[in-house]
């Protein structure tokens, strides 16, 4: 939950999650968030204006003035602008700012002149083998038929870090949506199980057997939800650890290259690697939570399935 409040890509989801966490009854606030507020926050975040604001904020947070001054300036101006002006930035302003930065780099010529065969080979390797779908797409675009040195320089200056950030966001968004679904269902089943257990403790005869069977089914349902959740979070941890290692290697390659083209990615690599490190820790904690719940649910299901002595 704290992870959503801090790192979800959508401002509306983050603020709603914080509201739940700051509730006087935190447990009730979290339950309410997953049962109803999550979907409402998602619907608000899907609004065009909200999406535009999130996009502008992403550019503001990820651009580096030293390498993309026009993009940074345009994004910062859009950040404090009206919704109409933000829409204009998303539709055309961002692309126009990228073109202005590209023209400046082309006129300077330093980075294009510094390109070597190993740079192209490295980008080709990213295109073919990088674990991030967006980085692979950006690398493929930089090396597409008809691309020139400016496309490759653009990839090093902005496209690589930009697409890597999108991969982080996509990873977080995918698992967050699934987590909300699991949490909502488990919360419902837990209430059912607790009610059935309470009835079973005071019931007798045929009513007792029925109450115990109801409690067992509810705990079995919890296990059925917790099982996929723990596996998904374990997979998410492996992905995040793998990406953190990839970016450690990228940082090492950038430090060894010592050229004008690699400096932007050297500066960005620490932040991207740090985001994946945060995700790996969060995923590990969540995997532990769901594993414990899965084991607890199985034990409870077995206990309530037994015929009392």
pLDDT at 149: 86
21-25, 78-82, 245-249, 285-289: range with lowest mean pLDDT: 21-25
When comparing pLDDT for 90 and 134, which is higher? 134
When comparing pLDDT for 202 and 13, which is higher? 202
pLDDT at 40: 65
Residues 174, 170: Cα–Cα separation, whole Å: 6
Query: Which has the closest alpha carbon to 78: 62, 67, 90, 68?
Result: 90
Cα 287 from chain centroid (whole Å): 16
42: pLDDT strictly greater than 80: no
Contact 74, 97 (CB under 8 A): yes
244: pLDDT strictly greater than 90: yes
Q: Residues of the chain with pLDDT > 90: what percent?
A: 35
51-60, 73-82, 120-129, 237-246: range with lowest mean pLDDT: 51-60
Residues 180, 272: Cα–Cα separation, whole Å: 25
Q: Rounded mean pLDDT of 202-207?
A: 79
Statement: the pTM of the whole predicted model exceeds 0.85: no
pLDDT at 279: 92
68: pLDDT strictly greater than 90: no
Residues 304, 213: Cα–Cα separation, whole Å: 7
pLDDT class of 167 with cuts at 50, 70, 90? very high
Q: Rounded mean pLDDT of 194-222?
A: 86
| Summary mean pLDDT of the chain | 86
The torsion angle over the Cα atoms of residues 145, 151, 156 and 158, rounded to 10 degrees, is -120
Q: Rounded mean pLDDT of 154-178?
A: 89
pLDDT at 230: 95
Residues 14, 11: Cα–Cα separation, whole Å: 5
């Amino acid at each position: 939950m704290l992870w959503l409040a801090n790192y979800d890509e959508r401002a509306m989801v983050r603020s709603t999650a914080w509201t739940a966490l700051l509730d006087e009854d935190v447990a009730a606030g979290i339950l309410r968030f997953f049962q109803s507020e999550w979907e409402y926050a998602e619907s608000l975040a899907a609004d065009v204006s909200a999406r535009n604001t999130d996009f502008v904020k992403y550019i503001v947070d990820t651009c580096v003035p030293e390498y993309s001054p026009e993009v940074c300036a345009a994004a910062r101006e859009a950040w404090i602008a009206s919704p109409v002006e933000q829409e204009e930035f998303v539709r055309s302003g961002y692309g126009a700012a990228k073109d202005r930065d590209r023209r400046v780099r082309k006129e300077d010529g330093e980075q294009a002149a510094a390109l070597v065969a190993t740079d192209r080979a490295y980008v080709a390797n990213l295109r073919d083998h990088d674990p991030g779908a967006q980085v692979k797409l950006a690398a493929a675009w930089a090396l597409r038929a008809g691309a020139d040195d400016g496309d490759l320089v653009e990839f090093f200056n902005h496209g690589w870090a930009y697409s890597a950030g999108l991969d982080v966001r996509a990873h977080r968004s995918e698992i967050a949506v699934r987590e909300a679904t699991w949490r909502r269902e488990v919360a419902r089943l837990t209430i059912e199980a607790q009610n059935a257990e309470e009835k079973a403790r005071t019931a007798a005869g045929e009513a007792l057997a029925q109450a115990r069977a109801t409690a067992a089914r509810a705990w079995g349902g919890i296990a059925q939800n917790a099982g996929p959740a723990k596996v998904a979070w374990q997979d998410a941890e492996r992905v995040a650890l793998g990406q953190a290692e990839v970016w450690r290697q990228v940082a090492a390659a950038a430090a060894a290259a010592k050229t004008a083209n690699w400096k932007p990615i050297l500066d960005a690599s620490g932040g991207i690697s740090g985001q994946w490190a945060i995700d790996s820790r969060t995923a590990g904690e969540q995997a532990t939570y769901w594993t414990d719940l899965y084991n607890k649910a199985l034990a409870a299901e077995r206990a309530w399935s037994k015929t009392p002595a």
